[in-house]
Structure 1
Amino acid sequence: MALANQPVFPPNRHALYDAHGYSPAIKSGDLLFVSGQVGSREDGSPEPDFRQQVVRAFDNLKAILTAADCSLDDIIDVTTFHTDPENQFDDIMAVKGTVFDKAPYPNWTAVGVNWLAGFDFEIKVIARIPAGNG
């Protein structure tokens, strides 16, 4: 039986988790709740190029999913946060198209915000933990 609210950390733990006191993800029952992932380098600093920041955010997300024995196919719900949605849309869609390249797609909510602690893109997800991996 899986422990309730079990934290999940990727193998290369990023400095932001300790600096801001949060877990990258929590397993709860058969669900995985992934905290907002940004395009941070291992030291916690933002990737300066916007498109590469989005790529890194997805890479950070994939590392957490892998650590929880999940994959992109297990994602149910996606929420993304954008500091300049209108001007960032093309870059985000280009990266998104390489990550989620075929249906069925997860549901997705995009939110424009004015601050992300030095970042310009953040992605959080809820995933179902495959049977036997909880």
Structure 2
Amino acid sequence: MSTVTFGIIPGFGEKLHAALGYSAAVRVDDRVEISGQAGVDDDLNLPDALEDEIVRAFDNVERALATVGASWPDVIHVNSYHKVAPGEDVIGEDVNRVMAEQFRLRLDGRAPIWTETGVTALGLAGMRVEIRVTAIVGSRS
């Protein structure tokens, strides 16, 4: 029988759990899936600069992983969602640069698979990025 553990991020995660009834992470044995993480602070505020929002989203992924005993070096798959303006057909090199910098900073040499998707809307007004990951605890290379 599998062991299932749900994780809720302290702060904004507790607020969203109470309001919307979902968890930030689930661990089934050694496999971890997290819900998409925005670049918000604990009061659900977004920074003005896109780069800061991306970095904060990476921080919140780390927080979600930690609720179930995982960390960035355990990550094997990343999905990132990026709001694109009407008429735009690319996400942009500035976004890719920041994403790649954060991967290098946090993944300890691991290069997970990554799917990057442009979207017209995300969960909160003003959001420009959302990141979700899959991890296998103890699989660090």
What TM-score range do you get, normalising by the shorter chain?
0.7 to 0.9
Q: Does the C-alpha gap of structure 1 residues 130 and 87 become closer, same or farther in structure 2, counting only changes over 3 Å?
A: closer
**CA distance in structure 2 between the partners assigned to 1:89 and 1:57 by the alignment:** 18
TM-score for both structures, normalised by structure 2: 0.78
Shift of 1:92: 4.2
Aligned to 2:134, the other structure's residue is in SS state: strand
Aligned to 1:97, the other structure's residue is in SS state: helix
* Unaligned ranges ≥5, structure 2: none
Q: Return the match for 2:133 from 118, 125, 128.
A: 125
- Per the alignment, residue 90 of structure 2 pairs with 86
Equivalent residues of 1:51, 1:92 under 8 A apart = no
Equivalent residues of 2:55, 2:102 under 8 A apart = no
* Unaligned ranges ≥5, structure 1: none
RMSD (Å) for aligned C-alpha atoms: 2.4
Deviations 1:34-92 (A, max 9, x none): 10000111122333321111111000111122222212110011100011273544134
Question: After the TM superposition, which of the residue ranges 88-97 and 54-63 deviates more from structure 2?
Answer: 88-97
- Per the alignment, residue 41 of structure 1 pairs with 41
Shift of 1:16: 3.0
**CA distance in structure 1 between the partners assigned to 2:8 and 2:2 by the alignment:** 16
Amino acid in structure 2 at the alignment position of 1:10: I
Q: Percent identity?
A: 28
Q: Does the C-alpha gap of structure 1 residues 38 and 89 become closer, same or farther in structure 2, counting only changes over 3 Å?
A: farther
| Residue 111, structure 1, aligned to residue 110, structure 2 | no
Amino acid in structure 2 at the alignment position of 1:111: T
TM-score for both structures, normalised by structure 1: 0.82
Shift of 1:97: 1.2
Equivalent residues of 1:33, 1:126 under 8 A apart = yes
The count of aligned residue pairs is 130
Amino acid in structure 1 at the alignment position of 2:47: E
Question: After the TM superposition, which of the residue ranges 12-21 and 35-44 deviates more from structure 2?
Answer: 12-21
- Per the alignment, residue 70 of structure 1 pairs with 70
**CA distance in structure 2 between the partners assigned to 1:20 and 1:93 by the alignment:** 33
Aligned to 1:86, the other structure's residue is in SS state: coil
